[in-house]
Amino acid sequence: MSERSVYSVLTYTPGTTIGVGLVALHLLGALLAPFYIPYGETQLAGFPLLQPGTAEHLLGTDVLGRDYFTRLVMGGRTSIFVAMVGVLGAVVIGGMLAISAAYIGGLFDDAVMRIVDTKLSIPGILFVALFVTGFGRSVTVLTVVIGLTYMPGAIRIIRSQALTLVPLGYVKAARLRGESALSVIVRELTPNVMEIVAVEFALRTSSAILTVSALSFLGLGISPPTPDWGLMVSDGVRQIYSAPWLVLLPAFFISTLVIGLNFATDGLANALGLDAARGLRR
């Protein structure tokens, strides 16, 4: 598919346009946050539970008197960083393992897939709980957990695509030229699975945002006072009747980002001729 047609799908399909716009707003808001937030993320900036709409506190304050607008923006930075970096590691490392397994085959392929099957047989919440208990609740630990959680699924999808490429003529020609296995994997196979890798990254990032928020809500994610959307929802539940914005605002931010990622992913999959609904949601 040409660059022009890909551009057309990503910009003129209504759902995709909305999705790309929502993701762009969240990413720009997170990246530029230090330049426009009015207070420090842990600063006690006013009286507790001030109503939204004042000049000093656009979205009010939380139970400790911290500016809620600042906390929401910085919480987005945390969630997006953990999800995107974790998933990026999963698809890059998992992708190289998957392509190598598909090309080399034999015992190496069997070993990789048995490890993947073993990981997939462990309930996700149990794996995360054990990992967090052993290594602590930090941004680094949670990023690694997200990467390990999503890597097996990425390996299976990318390997299945690579297996369809290994028998093709250009791969056989590279072998006949005497190129090494590493050269064939890097130069011939990897560029031809990048489309599915891109869709995998976008799709699994959407799921990872929900996972990060859910873990924080359950007390297995980011630890206070670091702001995080899931943690903010958990803290706000206690004041849901007197201060409902403490729950509704972070929930709204989570929802809009996930909806945007899903719409954008479907548009990307359509543009690249891939079936996100059937093949990539497994």
The answer to whether the beta carbons of residues 223 and 137 sit under 8 Å apart is: yes
pLDDT of residue 78: 86
Computed on alpha carbons and rounded to an integer, the radius of gyration of the chain in Å comes to 22
CA atoms within 13 A of residue 100's CA, in its CB half-sphere: 13
Helices (H), 52-138: 68-104, 106-120, 124-135
pLDDT of residue 248: 92
pLDDT of residue 34: 87
pLDDT of residue 95: 93
Tell me the whole-structure pTM to 2 decimals: 0.85
pLDDT of residue 8: 58
| E-assigned strand segments in 160-199 | none
Residue of 189, 221, 208 whose CA lies nearest to 265: 208
CATH class of domain segment(s) 3-279? mainly alpha
The answer to whether the beta carbons of residues 163 and 103 sit under 8 Å apart is: no
pLDDT of residue 263: 87
Q: Which two tokens stand for residue 42?
A: 């842990």
The answer to whether the beta carbons of residues 116 and 241 sit under 8 Å apart is: no
- Cα→Cα distances 64→41, 44, 46, 223, Å: 12, 7, 9, 16
pLDDT of residue 40: 86
pLDDT of residue 179: 83
- Residue spans of the chain under pLDDT 50: 1-4, 275-282
pLDDT of residue 93: 94
Q: Which two tokens stand for residue 181?
A: 């296995």
Neighbouring CB atoms inside 10 A of 186's CB total 14
Neighbouring CB atoms inside 10 A of 219's CB total 13
